[in-house]
Amino acid sequence: MPTTKTSRSRVPAAARVQRPQEGTAERREAILRAAMKVFATRGFHSASLVEIAEEVGMTHSGVIHHFGNKEQLLVAVLAFRDDDDVVTFEDHKAPKGAAFLEHLILTAKQNAERPGIIQGYTVLSAESVTDGHPAQEYFRERFVGLRDMLTDALRIVTEDDLPASTLDEAASAIIATMDGLQVQWLLDANAVDMPVSLRMAINGVLRELHAMRQDAASE
Amino acid sequence: MPTTKTSRSRVPAAARVQRPQEGTAERREAILRAAMKVFATRGFHSASLVEIAEEVGMTHSGVIHHFGNKEQLLVAVLAFRDDDDVVTFEDHKAPKGAAFLEHLILTAKQNAERPGIIQGYTVLSAESVTDGHPAQEYFRERFVGLRDMLTDALRIVTEDDLPASTLDEAASAIIATMDGLQVQWLLDANAVDMPVSLRMAINGVLRELHAMRQDAASE
């Protein structure tokens, strides 16, 4: 947040607000939800802080006060989304092995009930490959994390019988299927059944890995 | 193209140009290639006609003269891309059955040599789900066409033994894998081997369909 000459803005936001702490947290959350909605419908570059502010009945400078600028707001939106995410990172209570794969299919099913979140994820992840996009590092790390989680699950399911590179390739394919199905589904929800197609891909990849193990065993 | 009061602009562009027809075609192609590059690096909404014009050493109004406006230029870029595309629509010489699936894997391999085209496709297809995006209809129809081609190929491979809905679900999964791998690869080319992961998904889906046929036969 840029510093200004008024004493008011040198005081941390939390100390300044007279209402209970919950008020600020709720206000911030309302801005994050509005920002996700506007980023999803316009994309990051076309989204305006004015429109986000209007969504929550706030001024542009009110949003700036809470989040600094549009780039910082995007980073906050992505971090916020993770808390809400069915595929949680670094969740040591995450299901393991085959149960993790089932969890992904359940996620695809739940995703069909939350098109706004899915649209935001789809638009921002693809937009992040454009030059200098502020979410590029976020999504690069997100995919590293997802691949690791899936590789672990596949290692358990295949009983540590296959090379890490093979498990990585399988993990990339499964994550890709989830993401690619979202684009098709957002364009034409009636044409695509995300959980059914994802289950087909996951079952298929497991069959392929199983065949590779048998080939390796018979050599 | 908007009409103006000068007699010059009421004459069709082709009749007006004194150079041979090739000159106009080459100029248009240069603009389309520049536009694809700028759309890929900025996204459609953030791309400016001025930047596209600068790429080809032309004025903004020169680009307008050839393509009307940014929306029309995008539509022309997408149509142009298809001519250049490895996955060609309505190509009656397209390989059939298992050969079509091999063709997709070859395409994924060739795609790794043309990051600019892949970035354009990835950014524009995901951006097309945003409200009122001018490429929405294009991508919706593109996916319908791709699913049909893949469903046909899978029908041949599975000897017409499975319901159309199952083949559709499998086709969606395979297309999704191709598209999703591109996002991961654009963010981190060393982390993803597109043709290897795609082959794993395709082989896997074929194994799953084969198992479904066996289940159906033994019932």
ipTM, interface predicted TM-score of the complex: 0.84
- Higher-confidence residue: B112 or B200? B200
Confidence band of B88 (pLDDT split at 50, 70, 90)? low
CB within 8 A of B185, min separation 6: which ones? B112, B118, B191, B192, B194
Q: Using DSSP, state whether B132 is helix, strand or coil.
A: coil
Q: Using DSSP, state whether B83 is helix, strand or coil.
A: helix
DSSP B9: G
Residue B87's pLDDT is what? Answer: 55
Residue A4's pLDDT is what? Answer: 36
CB within 8 A of B87, min separation 6: which ones? B104, B107, B146, B149
Least confident interval from A113-117, A123-127, A174-178, B190-194 = A113-117
Q: Which chain A residues have a beta carbon less than 8 Å from that of B104?
A: none
Joined together, the tokens standing for residue B124 give 């524009």
For A10-60, write each residue's pLDDT tens digit.
444 444 444 445 588 889 999 999 999 998 888 888 899 999 999 999 999
Residue B20's pLDDT is what? Answer: 45
| Distance, CA of A147 to CA of A169 (rounded, Å) | 9
Distance to chain A for B148, nearest Cα, Å: 11
Q: What is the sign of the dihedral through the CA atoms of A101, A106, A108 and A111?
A: negative
Mean pLDDT over B92-119 rounds to 88
Least confident interval from A160-164, B45-49, B138-142 = B45-49
User: With b meaning 16 or more CB within 10 Å and e meaning fewer, what string describes A3-35?
Assistant: eeeeeeeeeeeeeeeeeeeeeeeebeeebbbbb
Residue B17's pLDDT is what? Answer: 45
Residue A21's pLDDT is what? Answer: 52
Confidence band of B95 (pLDDT split at 50, 70, 90)? confident
- Higher-confidence residue: A217 or B6? A217
Residue A44's pLDDT is what? Answer: 87
Mean pLDDT over A198-219 rounds to 95
Distance to chain A for B98, nearest Cα, Å: 17
Which residue is closest to B182 within chain A, CA to CA?
Answer: A176
Contact at CB, A181 and B172, closer than 8 angstroms: yes
For A61-80, write each residue's pLDDT tens digit.
999 999 999 888 988 888 88
Instruction: Compute the mean pLDDT over every residue in chain A, rounded to the nearest whole number.
Output: 86
Distance to chain A for B185, nearest Cα, Å: 10
pLDDT at A173 over 50: yes
Q: Which chain B residues have a beta carbon less than 8 Å from that of A119?
A: 129-130
| Distance, CA of B45 to CA of B62 (rounded, Å) | 20
DSSP string, B186-209: HH-GGG--HHHHHHHHHHHHHHHH
Least confident interval from A128-132, A162-166, B48-52, B102-106 = A128-132
Residue B120's pLDDT is what? Answer: 87
Task: Please tell me which of A15-19, A83-87, A168-172 the model is most confident about, judged by mean pLDDT.
Answer: A168-172
Looking at chain B, the whole-number percentage of residues with pLDDT higher than 70 is: 84
Distance to chain B for A51, nearest Cα, Å: 14
- Closest Cβ opposite residue B179 in set A43, A180, A192: A180
Residue B88 and residue B82 in contact, taking contact as beta carbons nearer than 8 Å? yes
pLDDT at B57 over 80: yes
DSSP B8: G
Placement of tokens 């098709």 in the chain: A184
Ramachandran bin of B11, using left for φ above 0, alpha for ψ from -120 to 50, beta for the remaining angles: beta
DSSP B6: S
| Distance, CA of A191 to CA of A172 (rounded, Å) | 24
pLDDT at B40 over 60: yes
Residue B209's pLDDT is what? Answer: 98
Which residue is closest to A127 within chain B, CA to CA?
Answer: B123
Which residue is closest to A39 within chain B, CA to CA?
Answer: B130
Residue A2's pLDDT is what? Answer: 41
Looking at chain A, the whole-number percentage of residues with pLDDT higher than 90 is: 60
- Closest Cβ opposite residue A176 in set B43, B140, B176: B176
- Closest Cβ opposite residue A136 in set B42, B125, B187: B187
DSSP B162: S
Confidence band of A213 (pLDDT split at 50, 70, 90)? very high
Mean pLDDT over A136-142 rounds to 93
DSSP B87: S
- Closest Cβ opposite residue A129 in set B178, B187, B207: B187
- Higher-confidence residue: B94 or A37? A37
- For residue B14, CA distances in Å to A195, B24, B29, B34, B78 come to 51, 8, 15, 21, 22
- Higher-confidence residue: A53 or B5? A53
DSSP string, chain A: ----SSSGGGS-HHHH--S-HHHHHHHHHHHHHHHHHHHHHH-TTT--HHHHHHHTT--HHHHHHHHSSHHHHHHHHHHHHHHT-SS-TT-TTS--THHHHHHHHHHHHHHTT-HHHHHHHHHHHHHTTSTT-TTHHHHHHHHHHHHHHHHHHHHHHTTT-S-HHHHHHHHHHHHHHHHHHHHHHHH-GGG--HHHHHHHHHHHHHHHHHHHHHHHHH-
| Distance, CA of B41 to CA of B52 (rounded, Å) | 11
| Distance, CA of B199 to CA of A170 (rounded, Å) | 10
Distance to chain B for A204, nearest Cα, Å: 4
Looking at chain B, the whole-number percentage of residues with pLDDT higher than 90 is: 60
Residue A16's pLDDT is what? Answer: 46
Q: Which chain A residues have a beta carbon less than 8 Å from that of B46?
A: 45-46, 130
- Closest Cβ opposite residue B180 in set A129, A139, A180: A180
Size of interface A-B (CB pairs under 8 A): 188
What's phi and psi for B3, nearest 5 deg? -85, 150
Placement of tokens 């595929």 in the chain: A87
Residue B150's pLDDT is what? Answer: 96
pLDDT at B6 over 60: no
- Higher-confidence residue: A217 or B193? B193
Residue A82's pLDDT is what? Answer: 66
Residue A164's pLDDT is what? Answer: 96
Tally of residues, chain A: 219
Which residue is closest to B188 within chain A, CA to CA?
Answer: A140
The whole model's pTM is what? Answer: 0.84
